[in-house]
Amino acid sequence: MSAISPDPQPVIDGRGGTILGPRNVPIELENPDVLISPTTDAGTVPNLKWPFALSHNRVLSGGWARETTTRELAISTEIAGVNMRLTPGGIRELHWHKEAEWAYVIAGSCRISILDEEGRLFIDDVSVGDLWYFPAGLPHSIQALADGVEFLLVFDSGDFSENETFLITDWFNHTPREVLAKNFGVAESAFDNLPTDIGHTRYMFAGEVPPALADDAPGPPATQPPQSFTWHMHAQEPTKTPGGQMRVTDSRNFTVSERIAAALIEIEPGGVRELHWHPNADEWQYYLKGQGRMTVFASGGKSRTFDYQAGDVGAVPFAMGHYIENTGDETLVFLEMFRSDHFADVSLAQWMGVLPPELVKAHLNLDDDVIAGLPRTKPGMVA
Ligand code: MN
Ligand code: MN
């Protein structure tokens, strides 16, 4: 990549002209392939990028939360994401929702719990690189430990909103007091001090750091469900290739994760996640570190290139071809997420490599030595 000018202008190879009107230089600097698109880009392709930095942030006593849904990134109908921070002891209010929830811990640590339909309570502590998965409809809790926590949440519907979950305080405050008294077998006065925070809910609030897990376990007769709702993704042995490495987590190893599949991808500087596509679902990306660019091939002569950096969300509609190139000088790290029980991709190079050579040659006029050198296995990340 050429050095980026502090005053980028859409002028190149005798084309274009300087910007005379109002402009936003920081955004133009972050998006050089939007300011001057590659000449291979063509046609109308929907927006496939959203920075969490542009998402509304809900700032409360226990931390903050910002979401990227179809309201922010209209093309992403299958998946929505939430970036959430809880300060030490901070509590995400007891709740449940219609969507399945998958999470990746970005920093710090927290304690999660989930109740299954058999009345069994699963409780565990998670830290950087760990996942949790909550099936749709099951109630759960999240509380930050002494170091606080930040995590990414992924939901199996683009229309999800963190502001539309079923909150325990909301239900209490919208049930007649005499019914609450009957339900719990106590006097109505027991509910005189229900919280009446904004909207009669708490959503997220400051709390005390809980004791060690052994001292915070559910009391008898609560039992642990047979399956785990957490997973140590960073403990997985990565698949290494010359340009980087990847870890795939889906229902084949993290068995409860029946609605979300994930891949954690690392690409070394200058490397490329090879030209590929996914035969089962849209792709939803979250960039954790570094910077890169992606061109999405939309068929019908259409393609569009986007630049991404840590904190951005990227999207690839179902079956569209794409690559991701590390354009920075540090390792590019991102998550590929799919609304599926399994991760699946198709490699362009492998497809060409296993076809009869004459058939490939008839299409692309490639030399015999190029065709002979095509891989029979997926290259993955290319140096
Ligand atoms: Mn939730
Ligand atoms: Mn992909």
Query: What is d(CA 219, CA 44) in angstroms, rounded to the nearest whole number?
Result: 58
Q: Considering every ligand atom, which ligand is closest to the CA of 137? A: 1
* Pair 32, 62 in one domain: no
- Given pLDDT bands bounded at 50, 70 and 90, which one contains residue 97? very high
The total of other beta-carbon atoms located within 10 Å of residue 70's CB is: 17
* Pair 79, 112 in one domain: yes
Query: Tens of pLDDT along 24-57?
Result: 999 999 999 999 999 999 999 999 999 999 999 9
Distance from Cα 283 to the centre of ligand 2, integer Å: 6
* Pair 276, 372 in one domain: yes
* Pair 5, 125 in one domain: no
> What's the structural domain count of the chain?
3
* Pair 226, 240 in one domain: no
* Pair 167, 285 in one domain: no
Residue 269 lies in a domain: yes
* pTM of the predicted model over 0.85: yes
Distance from Cα 336 to the centre of ligand 2, integer Å: 7
Residue 339, Cβ density class (10 Å: 0-12 exposed, 13-18 middle, ≥19 buried): buried
Q: Considering every ligand atom, which ligand is closest to the CA of 276? A: 2
Q: Considering every ligand atom, which ligand is closest to the CA of 334? A: 2
What's the pLDDT score for residue 337? 98
Mean per-residue pLDDT over the chain, rounded = 95
Q: Does residue 146 surpass a pLDDT of 90?
A: yes
Residue 327 lies in a domain: yes
Distance from Cα 95 to the centre of ligand 1, integer Å: 6
What's the pLDDT score for residue 98? 98
* Pair 145, 268 in one domain: no
* Pair 174, 220 in one domain: yes
CA-based nearest residue to 250, from 259, 235, 261, 239 = 261
Residue 190 lies in a domain: yes
What's the pLDDT score for residue 1? 44
Residue 44 lies in a domain: no
Query: What is the percentage of the chain residues whose pLDDT exceeds 90?
Result: 91
283 labelled catalytic = no
Query: Tens of pLDDT along 157-204?
Result: 999 999 899 999 999 999 999 999 999 999 999 999 998 765 667 899
What's the pLDDT score for residue 372? 95
* Pair 285, 300 in one domain: yes
* Pair 189, 118 in one domain: yes
Residue 169 lies in a domain: yes
Q: Does residue 129 surpass a pLDDT of 80?
A: yes
Domain that holds residue 165: 52-231
Residue 261 lies in a domain: yes
* Pair 84, 211 in one domain: yes
Catalytic residue among 72, 99, 336, 358: 336
What's the pLDDT score for residue 215? 84
CA-based nearest residue to 296, from 322, 274, 270 = 322
* CATH number, domain with residue 301: 2.60.120.10
Residue 84 lies in a domain: yes
Query: Tens of pLDDT along 262-311?
Result: 999 999 999 999 999 999 999 999 999 999 999 999 999 999 999 999 99
